[in-house]
Amino acid sequence: MERGRPRGRAPRPADRAALEAPPPPEVPRWRFWPVLFSAIAAFVVATVAALVAARALDIPIRVDQLTPQQVAILTGSQDLTLAVLLLLLLRAWPKVRPADLGFRSPPAPQLGLAVGGGLWVMTFGIAELQAAVFGAHPQSLIVAASANRSVEGLVLYLVLGAALVGVVEELFFRAVLFTLFRQRMRFVYAAVLSSTFFALVHEVTAWLPVFAVGIALAYLYERRHSLWTNALAHGTFNAISFILLFVLPNLGN
């Protein structure tokens, strides 16, 4: 027998080994309603914060008319409010610790980048198929990003639309909602339920590809239990879209 390996058992393939992480520390079963109410309250307050910012700064409601600077203001006000308030509520009421949300699980950078790239290819195929059947209906943010191309705008999209959104959405939809459902049901049901909520906060035309992304990211979180790996995958997926729209603006059509 080799040291550290039972006799006769082959080593795990490299790709499978990368996807698997050491077992996370035992997470106490969360109280369902306090966690759910905390998530809903944080989401509502964050949405109101974005609306207040839009009203105060006279930012138009239609996303496809926004400049990169306006997108940055609305994204920052909503997502930062959501993340801070959610963490405060979870810590104060149901006593959920950051470690329970995957903050302390080590990231897997290569895996996150690979998953993010794979997600982009997958959703591009889904979007093309959807456009062939129902016609092309690009998302409003894609239209805005294509119409307002600048280096400053690209930087804002990458910092806020990719990095910040990647962390906050993975915190809310995978670390909190998916985990809350997963503690009470099989993986497939928890993934479908959390991915449905994930799709519903996006535009109708993006529901199918966003739902597919949610399922894949739920599986990644199930295997790694690392918020940072999921955030890197999500952020990479968004960043590829913004970079390609900057280089090939007609891609949004």
More confident residue, 236 or 250: 236
> How large is the average pLDDT for residues 6-17?
50
Structure tokens that stand for 181 in this block: 């459902």
Eight-class DSSP state of 5: S
**Which is nearest to 112 in space by CA: 241, 14, 221?**
221
Quote the pLDDT of residue 5. Answer: 41
Would you say 83 and 114 are in contact if contact means Cβ atoms under 8 Å apart?
A: no
Predicted TM-score (pTM) of the model is: 0.89
> How large is the average pLDDT for residues 212-239?
98
Quote the pLDDT of residue 131. Answer: 86
Question: Residue 248 — pLDDT band, cuts 50, 70, 90?
Answer: confident
Contacts of 17 (CB under 8 A, 6+ apart): 11
252 pLDDT more than 70:
no
Number of residues that make up the chain = 253
- Say what angle helices 207-224 and 187-200 make with each other, to 10 degrees: 140
pLDDT tens digits, one per residue of 111-158? 999 999 999 999 999 988 988 888 777 888 888 888 889 999 999 999
What does the domain layout of the chain look like in residue ranges? Answer: 30-252
Give the span between the Cα atoms of 122 and 119, in whole angstroms.
5
Q: What does 225-251 look like in DSSP terms, one character per residue?
A: --HHHHHHHHHHHHHHHHHHHHH-GGG
CB atoms within 10 A of CB 137: 13
Give the span between the Cα atoms of 71 and 191, in whole angstroms.
29
Give the span between the Cα atoms of 9 and 42, in whole angstroms.
48
Quote the pLDDT of residue 145. Answer: 86
pLDDT tens digits, one per residue of 160-219? 999 999 999 999 999 999 999 999 999 999 999 999 999 999 999 899 999 999 999 999
> How large is the average pLDDT for residues 232-236?
98
pLDDT tens digits, one per residue of 73-117? 999 999 999 999 999 999 999 999 999 999 999 999 999 999 999
Helix (H) or strand (E) holding 86: helix 68-92
